[in-house]
């Protein structure tokens, strides 16, 4: 409602703080090219992956990785979270 009477109107500054803007998708920390030798041992560490997110996070970023559904049920590869 617009009023021509100054006694019925006021101005108040309003500040809005945006806490989370996710305009950058997570990405691998570097380019990974992994090779597996045919004589690799069971349970042998093959590759360690790391991801980054260029968006600021006050609590730190949490990432999770998973195998593609078509290989998730295979016993040939496993994925282990090192909590780091």
3-state secondary structure of 8: helix
- Phi and psi for 6 in degrees, rounded to 5? -60, -25
- Give mean pLDDT, residues 10-27: 79
pTM tops 0.75 = no
- Tell which wins on pLDDT, 8 or 41: 41
- Give mean pLDDT, residues 6-16: 78
């Amino acid at each position: 409602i617009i009023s021509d009477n100054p006694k019925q109107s006021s101005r108040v500054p309003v500040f809005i703080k945006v806490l989370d803007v996710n305009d950058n998708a997570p990405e691998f920390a570097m380019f990974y090219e992994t090779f597996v030798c045919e004589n690799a041992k069971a349970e042998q560490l093959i590759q360690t992956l790391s991801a980054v997110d260029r968006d600021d996070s006050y609590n730190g970023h949490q990432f999770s990785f998973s195998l593609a559904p078509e290989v998730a049920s295979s016993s040939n590869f496993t994925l282990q979270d090192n909590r780091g």
